[in-house]
Amino acid sequence: MTGGTAKADSPLAVLPFDRAELKRRVSRVLAEMADRGADLLLVDQIDSLAYLTGYAHSGARYQGALISPLGDVTLLIRSADQFGAQRQATMDAFVTFDDHKDEIALLAGLIRDSGAKTLAIETDSHFLTIERYERLQTENPGLKFIDFGKVIWEHRLIKSPAEIEALRRACAIADAAIQAGTDAIAVGRSEREPAIATYRKAISLGADNGRVAVFGYGSTVANMHGRLGERIMQTGELYFIEAVPQVYGYSGRIARPMAVGHVSDRQRAIAQRVVEIQDEFIAAMVPGAISGEIDRVARETMLREGLKKTYPQVSAYTLGYHAVPRTSDHTRIFMPNETWALEPNMVFHVIHYCEGMPFSETVLVTQNGPVRLTQTAREIAVR
């Protein structure tokens, strides 16, 4: 129903998680709303929408959800996305807009019609721009805005069994994809051949995202987010693949280095040492451990041994659901100054990188210690 509200039983819904789990997530949000005195919550970060309703969109137009203190969810969606939303989401009602309509004016009217005096907003949202925020203020004079930033990101840190299963599936795809990419490396081939093989394998096994890996070859291995070109692989050059496939939006991640035709003794020794340091890092990832202390030992070792001259980047970060435009989640990061403690059912992408040779794993923290969800052999491959 364009410009109006319709009931949404979602009879066609195919949800990645059962409704009970989604309701539990909303219940936690309602408790935070009550604590902060909010009459209404606006959710528009795609990660948050997916977490609370099951609905995700492309980000081409503004879309969001309004959640009442009773837990009623009203989705504001682009009419072109209506069928997909009804299949993906659990909601109580939806309001659609055609592309020639002003969705922010429609949103402002929904807020006004709700009678809310205080509106909680995700102040760290990538979609509630300053211009959109100011329009909501202008069109709802007297409405009080409450900061709800970071709340849902924090809720998402501890993964449910269903989320962990999605991550396990994504990691299995990542392992298979990186193996396929590795096997496509050969002297005389285009540097794009491993990328083609990696993508083909990931998509064929069920990855639901378009960007399933990051690649580097030759001079670009110095940059973990390098770009492919038109070069032909030569003996002695390095290649790396970081596979990042998603299942239901949950990303499994793994990085490995490869040598084309030949690996030097020095490169092999460096790769082995990085793996040893990372093994110690992962072994320390137990509940109650302080992230900065885990990071500091590995970081100082790599600097002391000359494996890195400088070390400005994180050594691990939160892993879970990822949507545009934020392709990595730094809600929790491992740096030497961090003081937060690890908890069971947190999941992280652990990555250490030296001289063009990255090793990374998806690691689940359990009550009994760390578990690597990625299983590819921890060595530099030669093809």
DSSP string for 10-35: -TT---SS-HHHHHHHHHHHHHHHHH
* Alpha-carbon distances, residue 379 vs 88, 127, 147, 162 (angstroms): 40, 41, 46, 31
pLDDT for the residue 363:
99
Same domain? For 143 and 209 the reply is no
Query: Cα 350 to chain center, whole Å?
Result: 14
Same domain? For 78 and 129 the reply is yes
pLDDT for the residue 189:
98
Phi and psi angles of residue 199, each rounded to the nearest 5 degrees, phi first: -65, -45
Query: Which residues make Cβ contacts (< 8 Å) with residue 227, sequence separation at least 6?
Result: 220
Where among 155, 176, 195 does a domain terminate? Answer: 155
Where among 100, 130, 155 does a domain terminate? Answer: 155
What CATH number did the domain enclosing 10 receive?
Answer: 3.40.350.10
pLDDT for the residue 352:
98
Same domain? For 256 and 336 the reply is yes
Phi and psi angles of residue 299, each rounded to the nearest 5 degrees, phi first: -65, -45
CA distance 378 to 271: 9
pLDDT for the residue 59:
93
pLDDT for the residue 1:
41
pLDDT for the residue 86:
87
* Alpha-carbon distances, residue 237 vs 113, 217, 234 (angstroms): 63, 7, 6
- Name residues of the chain where pLDDT drops below 50: 1-2, 9-11
Q: Which two tokens stand for residue 327?
A: 């392709």
How open is the CA angle 37-154-49, to the nearest 5 degrees?
75
What's the pTM? 0.94
The tally of CA atoms less than 13 A away on the side-chain side of residue 196 is: 7
**What residue numbers bound the domain in which 89 lies?**
5-155
What CATH number did the domain enclosing 215 receive?
Answer: 3.90.230.10
- Number of structural domains (the chain) is 2
What single string gives the DSSP state of each residue in 225-252?
T----SPBP-TT-EEEEEE--EETTEEP
- Gyration radius from the chain CA atoms: 23
Same domain? For 120 and 171 the reply is no
Where among 139, 155, 171 does a domain terminate? Answer: 155
Query: Cα 271 to chain center, whole Å?
Result: 27
Please write the tens of the pLDDT for every residue from 233-287: 999 999 999 999 999 999 999 999 999 999 999 999 999 999 999 999 999 999 9
- In this structure, are residues 343 and 255 in contact, taking their beta carbons and an 8 Å threshold? no
Same domain? For 239 and 360 the reply is yes
